[in-house]
Amino acid sequence: MAEVDEMNKSQPIFIGIDIGTQGIRTIAIGYNGTIYAASTVTFNLAKGNELRMEQSPFMWWQHTAESIRQVANSLKEQKILNQVVSLSVTSTSGTVIPLDKQYEPLYNALMYSDSRSASEAALCREAAFAAGHYTAFSSSYGLPKIVWFHKHFPQIAKDVCLWAHPTDYIIGKLTGKWGITDYTSAFKSGYDLNNEKWPEYIEKTLKIPVKLLPIVLPSGTFAGNVSKECMEETGLPENVSVTLGLTDGCASQFASGSLSPGNWNTTIGTTLVIKGITYEPIIDEKGILYNHRHPDGYWMPGGASNTGGDWISIDYSKDELAYLNSKAYEYFPSRWISYPLRQKGERFPFAFPDIQGFDEPGLTKEQLFISRLEGVAYLERMAYEMIEKLSSEKVRAVFTAGGGSSSDVWLTIRSNVLKKPIIKMKHSDGAIGAAIVAAASYFGSIQEAGENMLKREKEVMFEEHISEQYEEGYERFIQALKKRGVVL
């Protein structure tokens, strides 16, 4: 962590907390982008929970308190703990928790990756479309999970007082304030962002009482101060404000540097997520592209693929990755085509439930690795071409985040396939995005906070002669998808 000089001893510090699928990440960052403390606490997930259909909110809070306490202790040692001004929280999109009258969980959190609500998702789509709402609900959305729970656990459901999202739950534990959420978390629970209300079909058609759903406000809205009880549990000082948080994809977008209209972000982690900022929502009648609401009043269209970087962590060790990344420079642009989907079905940039991943046969480990890097880049290009067609706006640069951004050769491949510059910040994880939201009220806006707190690490520029070589590969990738029945 950074050494604290005399000038920084009077400057504000903001804390961002990221509740992920596998653990908690907490970061304390200064007004000028200096990181003063960080903590990562990993979940000890029970064997047999590999699909992560459910997780314990009690476990989340226990580990969140521990992670905050570690950061607070570090700041205290540096004699800057009292400079903490505010904090905020990010977590998964589409995850929901049933709470009782005391705001305690009645059941585990139903995770975004829980696919048991597939038939309920179809009911939600039908109800939404009939009411004029073009929300392409899937089992990864929160509302179908709520409908599924009320159907399968009616005895527990009758005691539900509030359906909360992960950020809401942690913010409630921090402040003692309950029943509020943010635009980005509420979207996949069916909230109408255009008219800023819970639509009538949720109660009339799906039979979910709207009184069980939270009040929805912009990310960065003041939720309350850290409670005395929480101060004792976490070691945080007095008068630290807590602001409404946001979903992980939106947090990564802000952390990447995509802060104002015209900016776009690709985050490559387990999946590939693309989000941008526009003045108006992008209308996609197929429902493949959806629109979040920006805290400053703009729109944040985007989509998430089932393809991304999960194949890397599954198939290769860290030692192998170092070798393969260095060897990849010898192969690109390659003549091979891969689509490294690790499950059945795709949702973005095309929706096709029966598609499966494929590789060309007979490739060496090195050839297969470069082919898959290029395959994800081709998919990313498809997404941006779709976005440009629907919006009639040109994507001029791509801000990047996620584990996939740590590979320089992948950044180079992506830039040349996209024919666009790719910009990477020095620190771009979700906790940084949450800290930017926490700082928005201090700076006046998300954009001002990000511009002050983010530090650019590199910009990768495409080269025309390499980009031209990728044109043939991209066309072959498109044709390979069409042969498998994908309609583009």
For residue 340, cis peptide bond before it (omega within 30 degrees of 0): no
Q: Check: CB of residue 277 under 8 Å from CB of residue 262.
A: yes
Model pLDDT, residue 191: 96
pLDDT digits (tens, 9 = 90+) for 269-313: 888 989 999 888 888 877 788 888 888 888 999 888 988 888 887
**The dihedral sign for the CA sequence 362, 365, 371, 377:** positive
3-state secondary structure of 373: helix
Give the tens place of pLDDT for each residue, 112-148.
989 899 999 999 999 999 998 877 788 989 999 999 9
Residue 235: per-residue pLDDT: 96
DSSP tag of 114: -
Position 5 scores a pLDDT of 53
CA-CA distance, 15 to 29, in Å (whole number)?
6
Residue 74: exposed, middle, or buried by beta-carbon count in 10 A (0-12, 13-18, 19+)? middle
**376 burial via Cβ count (<10 Å: 0-12, 13-18, 19+):** buried
Tell me the backbone φ, ψ of residue 310, rounded to 5 degrees: -65, -30
φ/ψ of residue 385, rounded to 5: -65, -40
Structure-token pair, residue 207? 């039979």
Enclosing H/E stretch for 378: helix 365-391
Residue corresponding to tokens 């961002």: 16
What is the C-alpha to C-alpha distance for residues 420 and 438, in angstroms, rounded to an integer?
Answer: 31
Tell me how long the chain is.
488
Indicate if the pLDDT at residue 47 is higher than 60: no
Write out pLDDT tens, residues 421-455.
Answer: 999 998 888 899 999 999 999 999 999 999 999 99
User: Bridge partners of 222?
Assistant: 243
305-321: b (≥16 Cβ within 10 Å) or e: bbbbbbbbeeebeeeeb
In terms of DSSP bridges, do strands 264-268 and 272-276 run parallel, antiparallel, or are they unpaired? antiparallel
Q: What is the pLDDT of residue 270?
A: 81
Residues 399, 385: Cα–Cα separation, whole Å: 16
What is the per-residue pLDDT for 297? 84
Q: What is the pTM of this model?
A: 0.85
CA dist 480 → 325, 360, 407 (Å): 25, 11, 26
What's the pLDDT tens digit per position in 287-298? 788 888 888 888
pLDDT digits (tens, 9 = 90+) for 239-256: 999 999 999 888 989 999
The rounded percent of the chain whose pLDDT value lies above 70 is 96
Percent of the chain with pLDDT over 90: 68
Task: Give 15's strand partners.
Answer: 28, 87
Q: Whole-angstrom Cα distance, residue 82 to residue 235?
A: 11
CB 171 within 8 Å of CB 223: yes
Is residue 70 pLDDT above 90, yes or no? yes
- For residue 445, what are its two tokens? 């806006």
Q: Is residue 51 predicted with pLDDT exceeding 60?
A: no
Pairing type for strands 215-217 and 180-182 reads parallel
What mean pLDDT is reported for the chain?
Answer: 91
Gap between the Cα atoms of 283 and 120, Å rounded: 24
Cα separation, 384 vs 382, whole angstroms: 6
Please report, in angstroms and rounded to a whole number, the separation of the first and last CA atoms in the chain.
48
3-state helix, strand, coil in the chain (%, to 5): 40, 20, 40
pLDDT tens sequence across 192-224:
998 999 999 999 999 999 999 999 999 999 999
Position 50 scores a pLDDT of 44
Is pLDDT of 6 > 70?
no
Identity of the amino acid at 426: K
- Would you say 350 and 387 are in contact if contact means Cβ atoms under 8 Å apart? no
Residue 6's contacts (CB-CB under 8 Å, 6 or more residues apart) are none
CA torsion, ordered 4, 170, 57, 230, to nearest 10 deg: 70
Judging by beta carbons within 10 Å of its beta carbon (0-12, 13-18, 19+), is residue 42 exposed, middle or buried? exposed
Cα–Cα distance for residue pair 225/176, rounded to 1 Å: 9
Give me the residues paired with residue 24 across strands: 19, 41
The pLDDT assigned to 66 comes to 97
